[in-house]
Amino acid sequence: NKGPSVSHSVKRHGRVRFDPGHRQQAREVAKQAEAAIDTVMAAAVAGQSADGGMLADAAAAEIDTLSSDLENTLSAAFESEADPTLAEQALKNALLGMSISIELGLDFDNTVAVGISGCLQNVGLTQLPASIRQADRALRVSETLELQKVPKKSLELLERMQGVPNIVPTVVYQVYERPDGTGYPRGLKGRSIHLFARALQVSNLYVEMTHATPRRPALMPYSAALHLLRQANAHKVDAEIVRNMLHVTSL
């Protein structure tokens, strides 16, 4: 950190009703962020130079809404959609990742970097055929190997983006590593995996589990949290990150 922790600016509201005005504001900020994610992803996929600064602005705006009312902002973002777009899921991943970062005591710049990384960590999915992305069956070995190339594909797309913090490519490349060394693409272990990547691995798993796919129904948030606790016990995810995630999601 080069500045004060964002957590110092977060308002704690206690046991009061959600403010409907803030909830509406959070939805509007989220829509603008989703539009920015769509624009940047589309430009990168089309082989054009993409302005990553748009995502930095979106992340900064989301930090403001999180600081005003973190629980309300997360609750509004995670209201169920029948068929969320890649941008919507990316934003939820970024918001939860930033919330975890705030609990970890990260400063503004680092929290923004986590947000940008969360927005872009799955951009490589756009390079996979729909038969893999939308499969309603267990993937074949060859398809699983293609899925494991997503971090590399994301990294290649990031090369077409301007204004992205230097740490973001590292985080995006490591976000599917696991503390016990069973992740990919490099099989890194423990603290060899960047803190931001460990945070986003947990947020990404939570977002994935609480959304339905053609292969399975969505889990209830409680069940998803329970699954993450079991994974933490097995050293599949970082236990400290899961603990901090529970601080911002349990109520």
State pLDDT tens for residues 10-61: 998 988 899 999 999 999 999 999 999 999 999 988 888 899 999 999 999 9
Cα–Cα nearest to 69, from 119, 113, 25, 115: 25
Lowest-confidence region among 80-89, 160-169, 189-198: 80-89
pTM: 0.94
pLDDT of residue 81: 65
pLDDT of residue 83: 64
Q: pLDDT tens across 55-97, in order?
A: 999 999 999 999 999 999 999 998 866 667 889 999 999 999 9
Helix, strand, coil % in the chain, rounded to nearest 5: 65, 5, 30
**3-state secondary structure at position 107:** strand
Of 76, 97, 59, give the one whose Cα is nearest residue 19.
76
Residues 81/48, Cβ–Cβ less than 8 Å: no
**The predicted structure's pLDDT at residue 214:** 82
